[in-house]
Amino acid sequence: MLAFCTGDLAVGKFGMHLGTEALRTLTFIVPLPLRLVAGMFAAAVVFAFVLDLIKVPVFSRLEITCNPRNRQAPPRTQGERSARTHTGHSGRDSGG
């Protein structure tokens, strides 16, 4: 939230070249000009799309989700392997 608010102020200052009074208005959420509201809405939409683009590789790197190109389940942990060996199940169907 802090990063988003800081981004809003940065867009207002550097992108829209707003003065001190306009930045105060932006900070304290009092009635804003339509141009400014539209700009902030556009910035929020771009921010959402950027986060969507970033989350896919980050989730893949953290192994939170399976790779959509390779629909295999994530590798089993060592504990799951040893539990299977001790119960006598190989994980394969005996076929009948």
Sorted by where each begins, the domain ranges of the chain are 2-84
Give the predicted TM-score (pTM) of the model: 0.40
Listed in sequence order, the DSSP H helices in the chain are 2-10, 20-28, 34-61, 78-87
Average confidence (pLDDT) over 29-40: 82
Give residue 61's pLDDT.
Answer: 84
- Tens of pLDDT, residue by residue over 49-95, are 999 999 888 888 887 765 556 555 556 666 655 555 555 555 555 55
Between the alpha carbon of residue 17 and those of residues 21, 36, 88, the distances in Å are 12, 11, 71
For tokens 């802090």, the residue is: 2
